[in-house]
Amino acid sequence: MKVLFAASEAYPFAMSGGLADVMGALPKALRKRFVGCRVMLPLYEGLSDELRSTLKFVTSISVPVSWRQQYCGVFEAHIDGVIYYLIDNEYYFKRNGLYGHYDDAERFAFFSRAVIEVLPHLDFKPDVIHCNDWQTALVPVYLDMFYRNNEFYRDIKTVFTIHNIQYQGKYGKELMGDVLGLDTGKAQSVEYDGCVNLMKGGIECANRVTTVSPTYANEILNPWFSHGLDSILCDRRWKTSGIINGIDTEVYNPETDTHIFENYSSDDFSGKSKNKQQLQKLMGLPEDKDIPLIGMVTRLVSHKGLDLVKYAFEKLLDLNVQIVILGSGEWEFETFFHNMAQGHPDKVALRLGFVPHLAHKIYAGSDMFLMPSKSEPCGLSQLLALRYGSIPIVRETGGLADTIIDSGDGKGNGFTFKSYNADDMAYAVERAVKGYHNKEGWEILVKRAMECDNSWSRSANEYIKLYKQLLKD
């Protein structure tokens, strides 16, 4: 079985969020299970000189973008046994940043056509093209509309994964012909609610649709979560499923992680207290091993539940805890946490931006990890927190509900709350703080958390089942 992943980013070549982590880890896990995996992504300007020096030129072709023909170079790289193809076009990709340009629709229409067009020029014909998010949603659309009569493409199946339904690739209908190359008779697949909706096209045309957790697969059938696509998803519920993401347990390993202050394991996590002490010192907090330290590594945006944190913040501080926050985002929350850090320097520390090595230190040095998300398709931070023995406190939504079980019965791996309510969140934190002061019970909970299997092994097996069933059908 051969699978080609098409994505707009992949670790270590281009990264802006969880999709890059998935594209760096899932193909590697599938290869270990004897699935032939390759990954295709754009060659962005931001690629480091070190990685760029490893690229090998494969070929160049012309790719149609509506009425235009555009240059397409193909470069190859090998990472951990996986072959990556990087699609080169300086007009579209020699720019700062991955997204947010005025012509993103055209840029990723080009990339989607390139994914299909280059296949006959490679030594790899996939059985399945696995597309990810709106940037590659046009691959199954174009495949069905322009290529199915070609013998080479006739039997190729497609899977489309929704990593976050909030971002759908919505544009004005004026792009339909001149940019996307879809005339009136072919526009229906991507036309929705009076505009172009690329994600809708992927959902409609792909052979199978997946999301990144079983709970999220059900939630997006509800208008509160679907951002307008619930009717489309309900009609295609028969081909939609959820498979939880994993984490790369080699990159995130407290026994070998070079970014943390001291290594430790689930059999001997005495080194975790050293990480806590050094994190407190680094962030300018009083070094006190008896004060519970709550970590947050998050985008500072409303759907991460930060309005709940803002509303209940003083109540949380009354529990005699320290809070370390790493992230950036909306001005409202950046300003609020800055003011809290200034007003409570002995309890609150803030670092704006995203600093990967500091994120590792927060996972290793915190006692608890707060994720009160309004919605969370999968979430990786709670899985990383478990890996490092930082007990998650989460709202029961999306992947958080699938991976974190409340420890109130003595068998769970974290603390949860159900309603999107600040008082309920504060009570969950209060229960965690009480649990922390029961040292014997807390050590049992930390060990149980660290021994949770959130590797890609289980998820990779689920994807293999999906691919096999798809090819069988």
Q: Indicate left, alpha or beta for 330 from its phi (over 0: left) and psi (-120 to 50: alpha).
A: beta
Residue 424 has phi, psi (to 5 degrees) of -65, -40
Task: Quote the percentage of the chain above a pLDDT of 90.
Answer: 91
Binned at pLDDT 50, 70 and 90, residue 188 comes out as confident
What pLDDT is stored for residue 251 in this prediction? Answer: 86
Binned at pLDDT 50, 70 and 90, residue 183 comes out as confident
Task: Answer yes or no: is pLDDT of 209 > 90.
Answer: yes
- Tell me what the pLDDT averaged over the chain comes to: 95
Task: Answer yes or no: is pLDDT of 186 > 90.
Answer: no
pLDDT tens for each residue of 61-112:
999 999 999 999 999 999 989 999 999 999 999 999 999 999 999 999 999 9
Task: Report DSSP letters for 205-222, one per residue.
Answer: HSSEEEESSHHHHHHTTS
pLDDT tens for each residue of 41-52:
999 999 999 999
* Edge-first strand listing for the sheet containing 36-42: 56-65, 68-79, 82-88, 36-42, 2-6, 128-132, 157-162, 208-211, 240-242
Q: Specify whether the CB–CB gap between 210 and 159 falls below 8 A.
A: yes
The full length of the chain comes to: 473
Q: Specify whether the CB–CB gap between 466 and 208 falls below 8 A.
A: yes
What pLDDT is stored for residue 320 in this prediction? Answer: 96
What pLDDT is stored for residue 290 in this prediction? Answer: 95
Q: Letter for the amino acid at 284?
A: G
Task: Answer yes or no: is pLDDT of 248 > 90.
Answer: no
Which two structure tokens, joined as six digits, stand for 371?
Answer: 């994720």
pTM here is: 0.91
- What's the Cα-to-Cα distance from 95 to each of 47, 88, 170, 392, rounded to whole Å? 11, 12, 22, 38
> Count of alpha carbons within 13 Å of 385, Cβ hemisphere only?
28
Which two structure tokens, joined as six digits, stand for 175?
Answer: 């792009």
Binned at pLDDT 50, 70 and 90, residue 216 comes out as very high
pLDDT tens for each residue of 266-302:
999 889 999 999 999 999 999 999 999 999 999 999 9
What pLDDT is stored for residue 137 in this prediction? Answer: 98
- Alpha-helical regions (H) of 83-128: 90-93, 104-117
Q: Beta strand pairing status for 128-132 and 82-88?
A: unpaired
Cα angle for residues 315, 399, 272 (degrees, 5° grid): 60
Question: Which three-class secondary structure state does DSSP give residue 473?
Answer: coil
CB-based burial of residue 39 (10 Å sphere; 0-12 exposed, 13-18 middle, 19+ buried)? buried
